[in-house]
Amino acid sequence: MIVSPFVSQLSDILGRRPLFLIPLYISVAANLICAAAPNYLIFLLFRFISGVATTSFSMTGFVLCMESVSLEFRSLIPVLTTISWVGGYMLAGVFYVFFKNWRVLYFAASVPGLLTIPFFWFTPESLHWLMTKQNDRKIKKYINESVAFNKQTISLIDCRNIQTVDNAPATTKTRTFRALFYPKIFVHVVINSFILIVMSGTYWALSLYSTELSEDETTGYFLSGLVELPAGFLSVFLLIAFKRKTVSFYSLAFTAVFMLCTVYIPMQGNYKMIFPLLAKSTNSIVWASQPLLYSEATPTTIRNVFSGVVSFVGELGSIGAPYMNRLTAINQDAPAILISIMSIVAAFLVLLQPETKNKKLPEDLDQFDAGPLFRGWKKQKDLEASEASEEVKEKEEAVELLEVKK
């Protein structure tokens, strides 16, 4: 939570690649040290460092991935992230079954991180970021490597002609954290921060509750993780077939419905897992659509700092999730009802955002689509300006007519 805004700002200034790789390797080293920590304070210190680094590389990595693929491929990103996430989630459960000593368990979960060392040679810089910096040398290198790898040719003359038609020249501006306080941008920061709080809180509340879904705690845990896999594949189909906003809206709405069903349609035995697992599925789908929606909508010059601040505030949901069970002191169904209410509010906030499917990534603030909330406001402003212009024109014509009569 603490590091997100700073790392995301550095990523917009220094590039995606270094702010992905450096935290990645720091995280691997910190986790290995945690497994061998001689005392609790050292363990906590390096857990903190690991958390800082993991947040940094996962956030920057998502943006780098999205900026590195073609427009048509963006809808397929969620299936890759889902497979890798669920793979790690399930692997933790497998390690838990075989390793009862916590040090061995932690070491076994950390060692696969060493396999990321070759990423140093295979991870490219974001072409979108290079274009905002107009780094011609690295852009030329990127194009030449892409042409050689894909065995295709690119006509730079055609590219220049397309750019001229689109009237969207690359910008060399370096935006800072202050750009987030522009009214249109700030409103979307607030909207997406609340939505992410709901998404994070719901996900971790359901994940932590998973061990209580069945008499055998590992069964509930594995089912809670496994249900994300079909949800990930389904999300790809939904993102291809429907608009981003549609997928996010209905996913949040159905999460609210399924959580209410856990309250008003009580079930016994293993059947009581049905509605929580359905809620986890729809929550997984919104995790596929919503980050894609706000990342595609945000200009390249502030994309990472925007994502960082939203993640920063969104972590409040993750932090609060373990304590949500305390609400049962008020009412046994209070946690489920709270999640339902917040999910419905978040669903309607999604409708205030711009649709981004099959649209080019905006490069700077002047290309930012503020969505329906500001679209009407802009039209009203344009209408007022047009009316004012007409009045001035009429007055000028009247003056000219008087002068002619004189």
pLDDT of residue 387: 47
What is the number of alpha carbons within 13 Å of residue 186 lying toward its C-beta?
A: 6
CA angle 328, 225, 274 (to 5 degrees): 60
pLDDT of residue 383: 41
* Per-residue model confidence as pLDDT tens for the chain (406 residues): 677 777 777 888 888 899 999 999 999 999 999 999 999 999 999 999 998 898 888 888 888 888 888 877 877 887 788 888 888 888 888 888 888 899 999 999 999 999 999 999 989 888 888 887 777 788 888 888 888 888 887 776 666 665 554 555 555 566 777 888 888 889 999 999 999 999 999 988 888 776 666 666 777 777 777 888 888 888 888 988 899 999 999 999 999 999 999 888 877 766 777 888 899 899 989 998 998 898 888 888 888 788 888 888 888 898 888 888 888 888 888 888 999 999 999 999 999 999 988 888 888 888 888 888 777 655 445 444 444 555 555 555 555 555 555 5
Tokens 């509750």 belong to 209
pLDDT of residue 160: 63
- Identity of residue 70: S
Give the tokens for residue 91: 């692997």
pLDDT of residue 382: 45
Give this prediction's pTM: 0.74
Cα gap 273→261, rounded to integer Å: 11
pLDDT of residue 385: 46
Architecture of domain 1-133: Up-down Bundle (1.20)
Q: Where are the alpha helices (DSSP H) in 210-273?
A: 217-226, 228-241, 244-264
Do residues 225 and 93 make contact, with C-beta atoms less than 8 angstroms apart?
yes
CA angle 333, 339, 345 (to 5 degrees): 135
pLDDT of residue 174: 67
- Identity of residue 59: M
Cα gap 186→298, rounded to integer Å: 11
Of the candidate CATH numbers 3.40.800.20, 1.25.40.10, 1.20.1250.20, 3.90.1150.10, the domain formed by 182-370 belongs to 1.20.1250.20
Helices 244-264/334-350 angle, 10° precision: 160
Q: Any residues with CB less than 8 A from the CB of 42 and at least 6 apart, and which?
A: 33
CA angle 34, 39, 42 (to 5 degrees): 50
- Identity of residue 352: L
CB atoms < 10 A from the CB of 118, how many? 8
